[in-house]
A = this chain, B = another copy of it.
């Protein structure tokens, strides 16, 4: 049997059941070490790179993130297409716990630069996932891709109170690497950046930790830097109907090549934690709309109790305030709209005036950013009581193409 034949057989074996495939592998892995939110001892596991969808979306969120946005510096579309082939091959190997190439960091010729940078040599796969996307700016006149631009991939508007830094926003391409070991995630981004030398360059990059949303019911809900559980009502890997309706692009959505893909909104949200820490416990809970300890919606007792926006307290005033975050972001308020969040906490040194430069690197996947993220963020940025304590300092939007098979590349649909 030829190698291609073997790949086809393997593909049939797994049935390309999309979320099912990713979930089976990753869910099992997450079960290994649930003592530390499912992340501590699961590090030797691999997450299947192939599938209907890219890994790193419904994969139970790993402990660490390295995200990079890149600009394409070549005007040769053939170089861009070739880069996407090379990235796919390298990611296929690295997510399997292998080096970038068979020669790797130490197996090549002594006179040549090593083809792997080596800092992950002794480390296991650590559930590494690598997810790649295309920014709106990629679909300009440079590469003749304007006709392939998905209508969902709009330029994000500037929302009220945004204070965006151009050096932390935008990008022609993105790489999201998640792993249970930060060195493995850093190694993955670094080596893809290196492969792209002369074709792309890093526009900005962001490290994150403490994943600020769980994406599977097998995971405990983590806490953000406000000290609150975050992502209780997130779309989870197990919610296959919601994923189909609200996360995965469908064939009739406008650009058939995006079917099985999704749209990623990345927002760097600075959190003024010093100011937050001076707010009373009751004040914090009113702003969020949940209990800080249990995570239960105000008026309820358990974290996963349904949010009831109508519970009235003293004098008929709603227990969950009109400007509470959970009210404004809830699918009830938003006409049933949901998004899949997959953010990470960050601390990027200090801000030069005595405070930590800390916050949430918000990552969310949705099927149509125009009707999901944008209206939600419009409401939040103008009404949310939490806006007093946060500031959006970076913003980007990417089309995440569908998953690949053993013989295909991330760029195949784009260049078909």
Instruction: Report A's interface with B, CB cutoff 8 A.
Output: 33, 35-37, 40-41, 43-44, 64, 66, 68, 105-106, 108-114, 116-124, 126, 167-168, 180-183, 186, 189-190, 193-194, 197, 201-207, 209-210, 220, 222-228, 273-274, 277-282, 284-285, 291-293, 345, 347-350, 352, 354-356, 358
CA distance A109 to B44 in the complex (A): 44
Whether A113 and B280, one on each chain, are in contact in the complex, defined by CB atoms closer than 8 angstroms, is yes
Whether A118 and B227, one on each chain, are in contact in the complex, defined by CB atoms closer than 8 angstroms, is yes
CB distance from A288 to the nearest CB of B (A): 11
Whether B43 and A40, one on each chain, are in contact in the complex, defined by CB atoms closer than 8 angstroms, is yes
- Select one of B37, B66, B121, B358 contacting A347, CB under 8 A: B66
- If A117-B277, A186-B209 are given as contacts, then 13 extra A-B residue pairs at C-beta distance below 8 Å, sorted by A number, are A40-B41, A68-B356, A106-B281, A113-B281, A114-B277, A119-B223, A120-B223, A168-B349, A186-B345, A190-B358, A202-B350, A202-B356, A207-B207
Contacts of A207 in B (CB 8 A): 207, 347-349
Whether A274 and B197, one on each chain, are in contact in the complex, defined by CB atoms closer than 8 angstroms, is yes
Whether A181 and B277, one on each chain, are in contact in the complex, defined by CB atoms closer than 8 angstroms, is no
Identical chains bound together, number: 2
CB distance from A313 to the nearest CB of B (A): 13
Whether A273 and B204, one on each chain, are in contact in the complex, defined by CB atoms closer than 8 angstroms, is no
Whether B167 and A352, one on each chain, are in contact in the complex, defined by CB atoms closer than 8 angstroms, is yes
CB distance from A296 to the nearest CB of B (A): 12
CA distance A223 to B227 in the complex (A): 33
Closest to A112 in B: B280
Whether A114 and B278, one on each chain, are in contact in the complex, defined by CB atoms closer than 8 angstroms, is no
CA distance A174 to B41 in the complex (A): 32
CA distance A123 to B284 in the complex (A): 21
A-B contacts, 23 of them at CB < 8 A, read: A35-B124, A36-B124, A105-B227, A111-B281, A112-B281, A113-B278, A114-B227, A117-B225, A118-B226, A118-B227, A121-B223, A121-B227, A122-B223, A182-B182, A182-B209, A186-B210, A190-B358, A194-B277, A201-B355, A202-B355, A205-B350, A207-B347, A348-B349
Contacts of A285 in B (CB 8 A): 110
The 7 closest A-B pairs by CB, nearest first: A118-B227, A201-B354, A106-B293, A183-B210, A110-B282, A182-B209, A41-B41
CA distance A43 to B36 in the complex (A): 8
Contacts of A190 in B (CB 8 A): 225, 273, 356, 358
